[in-house]
Amino acid sequence: MQPMLIEVAFPFFFIKELEVGQLAHPEGFTLWEAMSAIEMMDPKMDAGMGLPPELTSGKLAVSDIKTKRFTAAEVIGIIDELISLEMSWISGNLLCQTLFTCIYLHDPYKITSPLLQAYVIAVLKTANLIRREVTMAHVYEEEDFIPDSMGLSLCEEVQENEAMSSLLQVEDALMVHWRKAKGKPAKSDAGEIEILECPEGRELEYIDALLSRIRFRRAFYSTVANIGRYNLPHARKSLAQAITQIKTIQNTIPLGFDVKESFDPYVTRKLFSQSPPKPIIAMRKEDGAEAMASMLSHFQEICDVPAVQDSHELLGFLNYMSGRSPNPNVLTRSLMQKTLVRDGKLFGRMGLKDLIRDSIIKLCSPLCFSVTDPQVMETVDLFLERAVDPFWALLQLFGHNRARQHRRLRKLVRQWEALQVEAEALDLDLHATIPNRSDSDELPFHLSSWVYNQKLNLLSLYLLLGYELDLYGTYEHVMVSWYLEYLFEMQEQHLLRIERNQNRPGRREEQTTTLLLTEVVAKQLIFRGLFQLGKVLRRQGLLPSPKHAAYNESIHYGHRFRVFSNLGSPSILPFEHFLDAVQENDDGAEALQLAQADFAAAKGMLERLLQSSKRENGVHCVDKQQSWIEDWRTDISNLIKLCIANEVGIRTMTGIDTTEKGKRLDVAFETKYHKQVPLLVVKR
């Protein structure tokens, strides 16, 4: 059967009659096709179009690599630019728009300088290693990382030991030059890198700069490789070397020249012609080195994770780590996730069931874990088996970026809701087997109590991340702070109930619950104060809702707290309750006094909590070198500063007479002291 041919050339004769801006299209050319179409002869979209001469003049072609000769300053400049491009790639840009804008990466074997050739091959091997580690961790999103190499060679044919051996040979050769420059006897000749010219009288300075860059590349590759292999002792050693060398690199960046002809942003333009071009902001050399230094400091914390003793410490570390400023990049988060589980065990030494068991014991002190009755042991083991998947999903959550964490929390909360239903049924089975031995008349629901406490933490985190990600409008502050106060109140009541039902209260368990309770109550007071404050501002018209006709606050409220609608507990608060709370007939001055009292009370509790954490018997007082402990203390200190600042803001408000003509109070809420708790900023 012959294919049907349609004449399409004839309509093109009418193109000359079109005005500028007009478009001729067939009936099937929909808006979707229009959005994804490429406009021919547009230099920004048509990758097949020849580039204007001014964009290509002075740039090297791949065929020119073998004729290029280098000075030491040029090599330093190229290496520093490659570090910046490498960090830009790890930050989520295309490989072909970052590293492969360097001409030398397209054919490193043609590079005439043995030093630069060894370094470029090592960069490609590092890129291949990073791509493998990130893809294996399964925590990257499309905005985080693009693993596609688009057919570009990453020197896969070169073995790891070959690449590192080449760097070592270059380092040895540089050391020979260094000894000669110092007037010391050299053991061998290093003529292979004699072509690297240095300014007269500054040979030592330039050789030291080159040495630091070669040593850094070797140490950086070794660090990533060893963390990926769970060889943390070797990783710590190479990481210390990399940190030392990156400091030297930062100090010697001015020694390098900008070799602009060696970098062409258009050399790979045809590789991404099938997708809309993604503009990137070129990272300065200083910024690239700073980003690398920051990433290495995060690597240090990853190497310290196995020192964590229990789930409370582990979740605290992961939460604070993922909330670092600047946020950990995708490589850091991938290596962190890979470090967590080895051979099916946490850090290769602790099963997740054992971790969950210890967490329940520290929070609830349940008698069922010390009973040897086979039926009880079977029930407990069944719960631990069911809890593994939700708990592992919780650990994985912190491997994603903060925006994705907020999104994934909705699904994770549903998992913990289902686990709570199962836990309640298993608690009832335990009641039939084990008599109640606590002083309280309430039946202890130890398993479901632990699940419920974890779920409350997730719900609070979901709303708090909204502040960190700047998802809330100013007018939403009142409803969000009101709901957070409710969540912390529910958690306070729950922890008090756990205290009453503890069967084997011991000093360690009491400390755990007491300190958790103190922190929860302090946060409840903070958000109650923020709600009282927001209520006054709302009445004064300083937090106005959107004025368009389609806006409905009730519908908005339902959408904002939709994640709570399908939960058995805590039950979702109806919108009418929110209106009642906002419309209470409180005097404005009285509400401000209540808010100020709440902030003062929270500040006092947090100060006592901070002091108790430094005592030897405090649950938070462990090895002071553990970064999460310092993060926790910094977090509490920031909350104290926030309470003080909000008190000052309230005093400023009460000291301004807004009824006077021309007086207007401008207010805003900022996350100045704490990412997840707002600060009132008052402006006249």
- Band (pLDDT 50/70/90 cuts) for residue 304 is confident
pLDDT at 16: 78
pLDDT at 568: 92
pLDDT at 120: 97
Q: pTM for the full model?
A: 0.87
Mean pLDDT score of the chain: 86
pLDDT at residue 48 greater than cutoff 80: no
Nearest CA among 49, 67, 124, 88 for reference residue 262: 67
pLDDT tens track for 106-130: 999 999 899 999 999 999 999 999 9
pLDDT at residue 31 greater than cutoff 50: yes
* Count of H-run helices and E-run strands, the chain: 20, 4
pLDDT at 186: 64
pLDDT tens track for 138-169: 999 988 998 988 889 999 999 999 999 999 99
- Band (pLDDT 50/70/90 cuts) for residue 510 is low
Question: Which residue reads 């059967």 in tokens?
Answer: 1
The lowest-confidence range among 27-36, 140-149, 605-614 is 27-36
pLDDT at 188: 58
pLDDT at residue 597 greater than cutoff 60: yes
pLDDT at residue 258 greater than cutoff 50: yes
pLDDT at residue 270 greater than cutoff 80: no
pLDDT at 98: 93
Asked if 564 and 570 count as a contact pair (C-beta separation under 8 A), the reply is: yes
- Band (pLDDT 50/70/90 cuts) for residue 58 is low
- Band (pLDDT 50/70/90 cuts) for residue 297 is very high
The conformation of residue 474, written as its DSSP 8-state character, comes to G
Tokens of 227: 């963390």
pLDDT at residue 619 greater than cutoff 50: no
pLDDT at residue 624 greater than cutoff 50: no
The lowest-confidence range among 272-286, 381-395, 466-480, 582-596 is 272-286
The lowest-confidence range among 68-77, 211-220, 328-337 is 68-77
Higher pLDDT, 463 or 1: 463
Q: How many residues does the chain have?
A: 684
DSSP string across 611-627: HHHTSTT-TT-S-TT-H
pLDDT tens track for 646-665: 999 888 887 665 555 445 67
3-class SS string, 25-45: CCCCCCHHHHHHCCCCCCCCC
HSE-up (13 A, CA, CB side) for residue 626? 19
Higher pLDDT, 313 or 618: 313
The lowest-confidence range among 202-211, 360-369, 448-457 is 360-369
pLDDT at 602: 97
pLDDT tens track for 348-395: 788 899 999 999 988 887 777 767 778 888 988 999 999 999 999 999
pLDDT at residue 504 greater than cutoff 80: no
Find all residues with CB under 8 Å of 412, minimum gap 6, and list them: 390, 393, 394, 397, 458
Asked if 96 and 105 count as a contact pair (C-beta separation under 8 A), the reply is: no
The lowest-confidence range among 175-189, 358-372, 522-536 is 175-189
The conformation of residue 341, written as its DSSP 8-state character, comes to E
User: What is the mean pLDDT of the segment spanning 219-224?
Assistant: 98
Question: Which residue reads 């109590």 in tokens?
Answer: 449
pLDDT tens track for 67-81: 888 899 999 999 999
Q: Where are the beta strands (DSSP E) in 499-646?
A: none
pLDDT at residue 579 greater than cutoff 50: yes
Phi, psi torsion values for 681, nearest 5 degrees: -115, 120
Label residue 254 exposed, middle or buried (CB < 10 Å: 0-12, 13-18, 19+): exposed
User: What is the mean pLDDT of the segment spanning 24-29?
Assistant: 73
d(Cα 437, Cα 366) in Å, to the nearest integer?
10
pLDDT at 507: 47
Question: Which residue reads 């058995």 in tokens?
Answer: 568
What percent of the chain clears pLDDT 70, i.e. is strictly above it? 86
